[in-house]
Structure 1
Amino acid sequence: MAHKEPADTHLDPRYSDPKAVAGSWADAVTRLTEAEIFWLTTVRPDGRPHVTPLLAVWRRDALYFSSGERERKVLNLNENREVVLTTGTNTLDEGQDLVIEGEAVQETDEARLGELAALWERKYGSDWHFEVRDGAFEGKWGPVPVFGVAPRTAFGFAKDPYSQTRWRFA
Structure 2
Amino acid sequence: MTLKEPRTELDTRYGEPEATATAWTEAVGLLAEAELFWLSTVRPDGRPHVTPLLAVWADGALYFCTGAAERKAMNLARNPEVVLTTGVNALHGGCDLVIEGTAVRVTGHSRLTALAKLWEAKYGAEWHFEVQDGGFTGGQGVAPVFEVAPRTAFGFGKAPYSQTRWQF
Q: Fold-level match, TM-score > 0.5? A: yes
- 2:10 is aligned with 1:11: yes
CA distance in 2, matches of 1:72, 1:83: 13
Q: Which residue of 2 aligns with 1:76?
A: 75
CA distance in 1, matches of 2:141, 2:37: 23
Post-superposition offset of 1:3: 4.5
Post-superposition offset of 1:4: 2.7
Q: Which residue of 1 aligns with 2:166?
A: 167
**What percentage of aligned pairs have identical amino acids?**
65
Q: Which residue of 2 aligns with 1:46?
A: 45
Post-superposition offset of 1:119: 0.5
Aligned length: 167
* Partner secondary structure for residue 9 of structure 2: strand
Q: Which residue of 2 aligns with 1:66?
A: 65
Q: Which residue of 2 aligns with 1:111?
A: 110
Residues 125-144 of structure 1 aligned to structure 2 (within 5 Å): 125-144=124-143
CA distance in 1, matches of 2:157, 2:21: 9
- 2:23 is aligned with 1:24: yes
Which blocks of at least 5 consecutive residues in structure 2 are unaligned? none
CA distance in 2, matches of 1:24, 1:3: 15
CA distance in 1, matches of 2:26, 2:110: 28
* Partner secondary structure for residue 90 of structure 1: coil
Stretch moving more, 36-45 or 13-22: 13-22
Post-superposition offset of 1:5: 1.0
* Partner secondary structure for residue 45 of structure 2: coil
CA distance in 2, matches of 1:125, 1:105: 25
Give the TM-score of the pair, scaled to structure 1: 0.96
Give the TM-score of the pair, scaled to structure 2: 0.97
CA distance in 1, matches of 2:111, 2:25: 23
Cα RMSD (Å): 1.0
Alignment deviations for residues 95-129 of structure 1 (CA, whole Å, 9 cap, x no partner):
10000000000001111111100000011111110
